[in-house]
Amino acid sequence: MESIRPALYQFLNKYVDEDRILLSEPMSAHTTFRVGGEAKALVSINNEEELINLIPFLNGEQEPYYVKGNGSNILVGDKGYNGIILELSSNYNKVKCEDGIIYAEAGALMSSIAKVALDNSLEGFEFASGIPGTIGGGVVMNAGAYGGELKDVVTKVRVMDPKGEILTLSNENMQFGYRTSAIKTRPFVVLSVEIHLEKGNKDAIEEKMNELNSQRRLKQPLEFPSAGSTFKRPEGYFAGKLIMDAGMRGYTIGGAQVSEKHCGFVVNKGNATAADVYEVILEVQERVKKKFNVNLEPEIIFLGTF
């Protein structure tokens, strides 16, 4: 891992307090998999202005960087990430509701947005109340669960291009699809999101949230670190059933395992390395392809060197 250049550190420190710039920071502390080597630096972002100042500079310097929220859908290699991690979830997470419209900064957890929706008796966001990620990462991949997707409720997304220009994308311009959006193929950074929900009955909304989260606890291996569903759903199939039918329930390499509770999840049983997780994913893909001729595409983003 290279050390950060003094001039780069000085620029970062010009806009971000020293205590929010962590050098050689282990990413195992910042991902839900609880694995991963060091990043050259991890910078905690407090507001939009910091992103507007930092990202064009990093692009101009050709310095690798990655904007992360809760780290709930990334696997960082054991050898680390030779670049700058810009972390949004710590403070860049304000949520407000005005006239039935929820405005959320990119680092806001979807569970926090669901709480604001509930407090204001707004229905339509219950499906997302148990998703562990941030709204910024969520709109990039059009996160969804239990029959709902963000494309159903998100009306506007404010983004920044590599030069620092701010754009507002409508729902249509976001080109939402299954676990994808226009942002996945364009170098935009999500700044904030506008969500339109309908007025509903608060007790009914809370009951539905509790029911969905109870189902999640019952069916998913939440007791172990993971990145949620490991694979996208192949058209016409369910990833978990394909993996189970390929005989891979409980398949283990090192500390990584295909969950015995839900085969669609690869989990960290407690002492996994990123390489363990990566190798389990590759083996699952190979066996499912061999047995069913189906390509399983990971939902997870792979970052750094394994």
pLDDT number for residue 215:
93
Each residue of 118-141: pLDDT tens digit? 999 999 999 999 999 999 999 999
pLDDT number for residue 3:
87
Assess whether 299 carries a catalytic annotation: yes
The first and second tokens of residue 76, run together, are 């960082």
What are phi and psi for residue 244, nearest 5 degrees? Answer: -65, -45
* Amino acid making up residue 255: G
Each residue of 179-208: pLDDT tens digit? 999 999 899 999 999 999 999 999 999 999
Pick from 297, 264, 269: which is nearest to 282 by CA? Answer: 297
- Catalytic: which of 38, 179, 192, 226? 179
The beta-carbon contacts of 290-297 under 8 Å, at least 24 apart in sequence, are: 291/245, 291/246, 292/237, 292/242, 292/245, 292/246, 294/234, 294/237, 294/242, 295/234, 296/231, 296/232, 296/234, 296/239, 296/242, 296/243, 297/231, 297/232, 297/234
CA distance to 45, 155, 182, 197, 250, per residue, from 107 (Å): 9, 18, 19, 20, 34
What span, in angstroms and rounded, lies between the C-alpha atoms of 59 and 52?
A: 11
What is Dmax (Cα atoms) for the chain? Answer: 56
- Catalytic: which of 89, 181, 229, 259? 229
Assess whether 186 carries a catalytic annotation: no
Say what the pTM is: 0.93
Mean pLDDT in each 10-residue stretch from start to end of the chain (306 residues)?
89 95 97 97 95 95 95 96 92 94 97 97 96 95 94 97 95 95 93 97 97 94 96 95 98 98 96 98 98 96 93
pLDDT number for residue 275:
98
Pick from 76, 96, 78, 79: which is nearest to 87 by CA? Answer: 76
Report the mean per-residue pLDDT for the chain: 96
Assess whether 229 carries a catalytic annotation: yes
Element (H, E) at 192: strand 189-196
